[in-house]
Amino acid sequence: MNPDITYDPNKLRMEAPVVWLRMHHLPPMGWVSDFKAYKMVPDPVLFPQLRKVWELVLDGVPIDRVRVIANEELGVRTPVRGRLDGKPIQRCSFYKMLANPFYAGAVRFRDEFVRGFHEPMVSIEEFMKVQDLLRTRRRNRGKTMMIRA
């Protein structure tokens, strides 16, 4: 993450393309866009629930079990966006959430990460610990799968 490059979503003047890109995409789960203030703000319901999910992953609970806990016990549901409203979080979306640097306070811009002014859900150290955990769980994708007749 480059600490010299920042974006300020509170400025109405678009001095950097990062501001334009960030505010013209749907925010990740846990945040909502406040277009009048031109910034991302934490969702009052979903943000604390997802923070508990991150804490469970950091405590070493298996990731598939955390997803079941999030859906059944914590009641995590997707935000209201058209037809995708109020559904349980799917496995692929859960892994995308855990790999998204936005949750650590960073925004991906082209090939680098820049610091954002939104409230991070996890620290950078916690985010990197989860990335290491995910990296150890990945299968070797280079092998070809043998099809049995």
**Among 4-8, 63-67, 111-115, 124-128, where is mean pLDDT lowest?**
4-8
- 42 or 115, greater pLDDT: 42
Q: What percent of the chain has pLDDT over 70?
A: 68
pLDDT in tens, 86-126: 889 889 989 999 998 889 988 776 777 878 778 899 999 99
SS3 sequence of the chain: CEEEEECCCCCCCCCCHHHHHHHCCCCCCCEEEECCCCEEEECCCHHHHHHHHHHHHHCCCCHHHHHHHHHHCCCCECCCCHHHCCCECCHHHHHHHHHCHHHHCEEEECCEEEECCCCCCCCHHHHHHHHHHHHHHCCCCCCCCCCCC
Q: What is the pLDDT of residue 138?
A: 65
Residue ranges and CATH numbers for the domains of the chain are: 2-130 (3.90.1750.20)
So what's the pLDDT on residue 62? 92
